[in-house]
Amino acid sequence: MTTAPLSAETKKNFQYASTATVATQMLKRGFRNTAINGIKPLNPKAARLVGPAFTLRYIPAREDLDQPPKPGDPPSAQRAAIEETPAGHVLVIGTEGIVKSGTLGDILALRLKVRGVAGVVSDGAMRDTPVIGRMDFPVYCTAAAAPPSMNSLHAVEVQTPLGIRGVPVYPGDVIVADEDGAIVVPRHLADEVARDSFEQERLEKFVAIRIGQGREIPGTYPPNDQTKADYAAWIEAGEPETWPK
């Protein structure tokens, strides 16, 4: 089922790991095209984002169909996405790269936040970015644009597969995002990728301590037997910020 929530452990593991680490785990499984690059969080302090994808697809606007909203308009796929994206999910919006209009503005973003949605990832633009950029709500996009969506875009459907900047996203895939961009993890791989990402991230924390102390890369990263033993001792000691003291 495409709107199933993540297990608490998988969510925790993905929140611990950087996207750099998750991307390495995906490469180890033969996936080279999982990173959505070129997107940035509007609020750098609200960058960390983990959750299953709920998708919304836009096409270009047509002058007769796409007009400023009036009371009584039939519900659009955009409005469906706003009210139907489950709490904890990530609304992934595909525009085929059109950035002449915002895909969402501050009021719709606020509604998503109030409903408990985890965040938004789009290959398009957002409007009202000065306001969204101050919300405690992760919104990733490629640009800012003042015009409302119907200026240049038409919402077609929700929950179909999308391409986002050349990366496929299927409903239910797990989105993990930070300032490096977003990684798309196919849902059936989520638990194992999350678990291995946690392990790799923890090792790299230790490695960074060692490199900061002046160790050379060879022997430290990847770790040789001595470094592995030191790493085990460091975990046992409670993973302190400095080590050995």
For residues 78-107, which are near a copy of itself according to CB under 8 A?
79, 82-83, 96-100, 102, 105-107
Is 238 a residue that touches a copy of itself (CB under 8 A)? no
Number of residues that bind a copy of itself (CB under 8 A): 91
Is 151 a residue that touches a copy of itself (CB under 8 A)? yes
Taking the least distance from each CB to a copy of itself, the nearer of 8 and 239 is 239
- Closest Cα to residue 103, out of 50, 167, 58? 58
At its nearest, how many Å lie between a copy of itself and the CB of residue 104?
A: 11
> What stretch of H or E contains 175?
strand 174-178
Taking the least distance from each CB to a copy of itself, the nearer of 88 and 105 is 105
> What stretch of H or E contains 122?
strand 119-122
- Interface with a copy of itself in residues 56-75 (CB under 8 A): 58-64, 68-71, 75
> What stretch of H or E contains 121?
strand 119-122
Task: Pick from 5, 116, 222, 240 the residue near a copy of itself by CB under 8 A.
Answer: 222
Taking the least distance from each CB to a copy of itself, the nearer of 8 and 216 is 216
Residue pointed to by tokens 């239910």: 172
At its nearest, how many Å lie between a copy of itself and the CB of residue 144?
A: 5
122 bridge partner residues: 93
At its nearest, how many Å lie between a copy of itself and the CB of residue 70?
A: 7
At its nearest, how many Å lie between a copy of itself and the CB of residue 186?
A: 7
DSSP assignment of 46-108? G--EEEEEEEEEEEE--TTT-----TTPPPPHHHHHHHHSPTT-EEEEE-TT--SSBS--HHH
Alpha helices (H) along the chain: 8-16, 19-28, 77-84, 106-114, 129-132, 190-212, 225-236
- Write each residue from 19 to 48 as x if it is in contact with a copy of itself (CB under 8 A), else as -, in one continuous string: xx-xxx-xxx-xxxxxx-xx--------x-
- Closest Cα to residue 91, out of 127, 123, 119, 115? 119
At its nearest, how many Å lie between a copy of itself and the CB of residue 152?
A: 7
